[in-house]
Structure 1
Amino acid sequence: MNPVDLLALGLIGLRTRPGRALLSGLGIAIGIATMIVVTGIPASSQAALLDRLSALGTNTLQVTALPHQSPPAVLPEQAVGMVTRIGPVTGASAVANTHTVVRRNDRVDRNDGGGLTVLAARLDLPGVINATVRSGSWLNPATATFPTVVLGAVAAERLGLTTLPTGRQSPLVMIGESRFTVVGILDPVTLHPDIDRSVLVGWDAARTELDFDGHPTVIYVRAEEAQLEAVRDVLAPTISPERPGQVVVTRPSDALAAKRATENSFSVLFLALAGVALIVGGIGVANTMVVSVLERRSEIGLRRALGATRGQIRGQFLTESVVLAVCGGVAGTLLGLAATVGYAAWQNWPLVLPVESAGAGVAGAIVIGVLAGVYPCVRAARLTPTQALATT
């Protein structure tokens, strides 16, 4: 019997009993949809959680010189360039304390800096520390060479400059005995509150206006999360090969450990729930096919009496089982994907479509159909014509 005839024969039971076929397909559809939902929705939830954990600096490190040394330990001027040559490093920038005092104007006590720090900053700093400008603009190659500053969020409040006027002259602040133009104000930088309390001057302007020596005080490093510990191990020897003990590198954020634990926990949960859903769907199809054999003994007996072989009987019921499971699997996959998309949009989560689960849903439906149909088709094929017709 060729595959087309076998498929047509296997569809007879589904066409003659559409109600039961629909309910049976619904069972496997619910099982597969459950598998899609319990992988897709938690995956979107996991993505949202991991984004929040990543915002806590899971891929960042800070490098400073060992404090309280005599003579004082300093980081080399070329330290940032050295760090960027480390393979897994995706970004590095630096600031340096200029040891000067900032005032709102020259009428304020020259020793009253309001607890603020004046830092020389590299132009690529915002991209490395995820800083954004609330008002005005960040330093650029032109303004970084002139006496201009960008204020951290706290520094702007203490200096009475919460926003910059448009269409008017920019305000000035005093650093030492020099006036600097305020060109920007930053939003709060969650990961680096020291930046919020700082007044940021261009690296070149700090050299010319504030007698800055060019040695960075803090280096901010971003690296691939999977290689973060390896990067930390080589930072000190890279920056100071002769005296690595004078370089202090922060340890990875606790959020990184929490993120990795979350990934592992979610993976185990996905596998467990998906397995349960598939087992439930397979039991439903197997039960349906067993009942189908019991109800169709007369049909089996008549076909056997007309010359159908045991193999043809097995093929008929196995094909019916596979078609039933595949139809339910496709419907369940579409239903599960729709539910995942809708729920993720409702919760404003990043959409993570479980493509692997969708493919596994259809493939799993085929496997379920085969496994669920083996016993019923074997049982049907074992019936002799006299046994089958005697029960009608």
Structure 2
Amino acid sequence: MTDTSTPSAAPDRSASFPTRTRPVRLAPADVLRLGLLGIHTRKMRAALSALGISIGIATMIIVTGIPASSQQAVLDQLSALGTNMLRAQPIPDQDPPMLLPAESVGMASRIGPVTRASAVANTHAVVRRSDLVNPNDSSGLSVLASRTDLLEAVNGRVRSGQFLDPSTEEFPTAVLGYLAASRLGITTLVPGQPPPQINIDDHWFTVIGILDPLPLATDLERSVLVGWDAAGTVLGFDGHPTVIYVQAREDALEDVRAVLPAALNPQLPGLVQVSRPSDALAAKRVTESTLSALFVGLAGVALLVGGIGVANTMFISVLERRREIGLRRALGANRGQIRGQFLTESVLLSTLGGVAGTVLGVLTTIGYASYQGWPPVIPVLAVAGGIGGALLVGVVAGVYPAIRASRLTPTEALATV
């Protein structure tokens, strides 16, 4: 007899071995939304937290930008004095006197770091206000043959009139130094009126310009400058320069000073003396190093204050949101997800505050510098450090609160419900 009964089903062994559930992995976008959710639901607290870090970052930008702008204004003033200028001339009282080659300016210009070179030469002529003055009375003034590019080489400015140029240097024209103009009684040139004339070795020269004071070239203030070509044709100038003015890169100024005598007089470099860099350059370098160290210290203090504020805010946030943490843990969130939520919220708060503080600091610095008449200077490191520092502060300030939040068990967190 055939057994038509259906075979019994095999026992389901899998029922006795429950499958192990794995926590859901949150995508970075989900973690970002959780961080934004905490900020969105507590707008006022988030705004106050971001305000704290923004004030810290804005302070960092301001305490670096405003002093940097002031420093740049000071450095510009020092540079205008001629901090990168050297003065070379033969050692005085030589017998016979040493003469620099006529090609000295070109020889100095070929030195690599040199950016500009010019020259003057003493014509040993006598200048008088008129031919009626005693011929032996020169008023202590020197008559110097000048190249047309001298004014740029000594950072000089014309107070009245104009300086020598290619169209005037061949003619009997003269430019007066600041003190020379005062001693000759010619203090200004009035446009539209005939220019005054002075007598140089019984030759009449027309005054076409008056210079401003030259703090680092005072010898030119007591001089009457005439064109290089005119000095040769009218006053018998032999073409040998007396003083060479050289401008060079400030970082290579000492090197240029060392090689300049040999460049001007290869045969007898020991008979050429070169002025040392001006005290203004030393003051400029001290100003740069001192203020730079001050900026770093102020920026560090401002950033530390902002970081403490964010850390305090995040710590209080963990205490206030214990029930939310417990509920999420009870629904399956693991410790890593809790840490990621609070760490993301801390970084977002700091970033928002950093961006706002950077914008506020930049605008404040530009406005104040413009009001003071300074060149606005926004240090690139300060701007990059404003946002980068905010990110770093957010991470550091959020690590401990995030770890503390993740260690709360569901029962411990929900105990206050």
Range class of TM-score, shorter chain? over 0.9
The equivalent residue for 1:149 is 174
Among 249, 252, 257, which residue is 2:274 paired with? 249
- Residue type of the partner of 1:297? R
Q: Give the SS at the match of 1:291.
A: helix
The equivalent residue for 2:8 is none
Among 46, 49, 65, which residue is 2:74 paired with? 49
- Residue type of the partner of 2:287? T
The equivalent residue for 2:352 is 327
Matched residues in 1 for 2:189 and 2:43: separation?
A: 72
Deviation at residue 191 of structure 1 after TM alignment? 2.2
Matched residues in 2 for 1:136 and 1:276: separation?
A: 53
137 and 52 in structure 1: CA distance in 2 versus 1, 3 angstrom threshold: closer
Matched residues in 1 for 2:296 and 2:206: separation?
A: 59
Matched residues in 2 for 1:55 and 1:72: separation?
A: 34
Q: Give the SS at the match of 1:86.
A: coil
Retained in 1: the 8 A contact 2:314–2:346? yes
The worse-fitting range, judged by mean Cα deviation, of 241-250 and 276-285 is: 276-285
Matched residues in 2 for 1:167 and 1:290: separation?
A: 78
Matched residues in 1 for 2:49 and 2:270: separation?
A: 70
CA deviation map 1:56-80 (0-9, x unaligned): 3211110111111111122111111
Matched residues in 1 for 2:168 and 2:80: separation?
A: 30
Matched residues in 2 for 1:25 and 1:294: separation?
A: 19
Among 190, 203, 216, which residue is 2:228 paired with? 203
The equivalent residue for 1:30 is 55
Deviation at residue 153 of structure 1 after TM alignment? 2.0
- Residue type of the partner of 2:40? R
The answer as to 2:107 corresponding to 1:107 is no
Deviation at residue 171 of structure 1 after TM alignment? 2.3
The answer as to 2:258 corresponding to 1:233 is yes
Q: Percent same amino acid among aligned pairs? A: 64
- Residue type of the partner of 1:28? I
Q: Give the SS at the match of 1:134.
A: strand
Deviation at residue 55 of structure 1 after TM alignment? 2.7
Matched residues in 2 for 1:235 and 1:163: separation?
A: 38
The equivalent residue for 1:71 is 96
The answer as to 2:203 corresponding to 1:178 is yes
Deviation at residue 233 of structure 1 after TM alignment? 0.1
Among 93, 102, 110, which residue is 1:85 paired with? 110
Matched residues in 2 for 1:142 and 1:16: separation?
A: 77
RMSD over aligned CA atoms reads 1.4
Matched residues in 2 for 1:165 and 1:39: separation?
A: 47
The answer as to 2:79 corresponding to 1:20 is no
TM-score with structure 2 length normalisation? Answer: 0.91
The answer as to 2:319 corresponding to 1:294 is yes
Among 310, 316, 319, which residue is 1:285 paired with? 310
Deviation at residue 83 of structure 1 after TM alignment? 0.3
Which structure's CA Rg is the greater one? 2
**Structure 1 gap segments, 5+ residues each:** none
Deviation at residue 355 of structure 1 after TM alignment? 2.7
Matched residues in 2 for 1:176 and 1:314: separation?
A: 92
Aligned length: 392
